[in-house]
Amino acid sequence: MKRQGKKIPAFASEQEEREFWETHDSSEYVDWTQAKRVALPNLKPTTQSISLRLPVSLLEGIKSAANSKDVPYQSLIKIWLHEKLHEGHGH
């Protein structure tokens, strides 16, 4: 059964829309019972570039380990960091 909600206002900017949704409950405007799950398989997580200073011997060891696994060393670092972060957290 479709529910009639409040009309979503027109916004002059993304910032104005963001401020609106920060202070309003979307369930008053959208009938979420009619929502359908959507898969977006081509989306990539947002990443941020960082600068990290490592001892040369550590970096060479990481590169050697990555080479033996046939993966780029930066990818291996990301894998190891992800594994360590979720170790013991049950994720």
pTM higher than 0.75 for the full model? no
pLDDT at 54: 96
Give the whole-angstrom CA distance, residue 53 versus residue 70.
23
Taking only the tens place, the pLDDT of each residue in 31-40 is 889 899 888 8
Residue 2 predicted with pLDDT over 70: no
For 88: left if phi > 0, alpha if psi spans -120 to 50, otherwise beta; the answer is: left
pLDDT at 46: 87
Residue 91 predicted with pLDDT over 60: no
Q: What is the DSSP string of 47-81?
A: ---------HHHHHHHHHHHHHHTS-HHHHHHHHH
Domain spans of the chain, in order of start: 1-34, 50-91
- Residues 11, 17: contact at Cβ < 8 Å? yes
Residue 56 predicted with pLDDT over 90: yes
